[in-house]
Structure 1
Amino acid sequence: ERFGTEKGIAGANFLVMGDDQRSALSGAEAAAEAIRTMRGVISGFAGGIVASGSKVGCKNYQFPMPASTNHQFCPTLKDRIADSLIPDGVRSVYEIVINGVDEPAIKNAMRAGIEAATGSPGVRYIGAANFGGKLGEYRFELHDLF
């Protein structure tokens, strides 16, 4: 048996924001399950879900792939930082990161994941992070998916 590699796109993402941890996690799990069934994409984090919004780079640690919690999407910091992007009423955020073979595969997976997440009670908002362009040349605008 042989296998190889092929160029693709890594790091497409969307954020599932909910009333509380249970509702946001339920939405994220629904999204991950919908994406899991699709060809040409993978959501490589455990269970397909990142436990918080993430960002490229970190101040205090050196990892092979430096990433850390995205403070702007951290509900517990909402009232402590000036640049919080957490909408009112949101108390939990999970991130879905998608890698895929091409733009159509990723767009289809994002659309399916968002539709699944928004079908969960208590999911208030869907958002995304672009990391200031540090993650690559591709940008997937959520409004353009629908």
Structure 2
Amino acid sequence: MEEPIKGKSWFNRNWKWVVPTGGCLLVIILIVAFAGSLIWGVTSLMSDSQAYQDAMTEARNNSQVVQVLGEPIETNGMSGGSINYSNGYGTAELTIPIKGPNGEATILVEGSGADENWTYQKMEVSISDSDQVIDLLEDGPLIE
């Protein structure tokens, strides 16, 4: 009776290309995960800031903005700019893309303050499809 000859396993036959390929895929996955978490962290840092929250509140409560964009007004992608904190005092220069059912716009914010007490030098909405700019601080801001 003949016994079947036992060959090498699949891994033993292919380990020379499986190990480097698996290692490269692991490195790529780790890089993508790191970049994604970095982007998410920066984005959430900006969206949690007082300047961002105040700008979104002002835009949603402004009758001109609601008339042009419609309701609801939501963010439209990643915000950009800078937020700096030093000894409890912060400054912010942000651009926040927003959208509504009728169009898109960008909020431009420049301000400084501490905790929840911020003052703004600029807070305006620039409508994307036109040259219209709506000053959110013009009619007496809801937030000081």
Q: Same fold (TM over 0.5)?
A: no
TM-score using structure 1 length = 0.29
Q: Name which structure has the greater RCO, CA cutoff 8 Å, separation 6+.
A: 1
Query: Which one has the largest radius of gyration?
Result: 2
TM-score using structure 2 length = 0.30
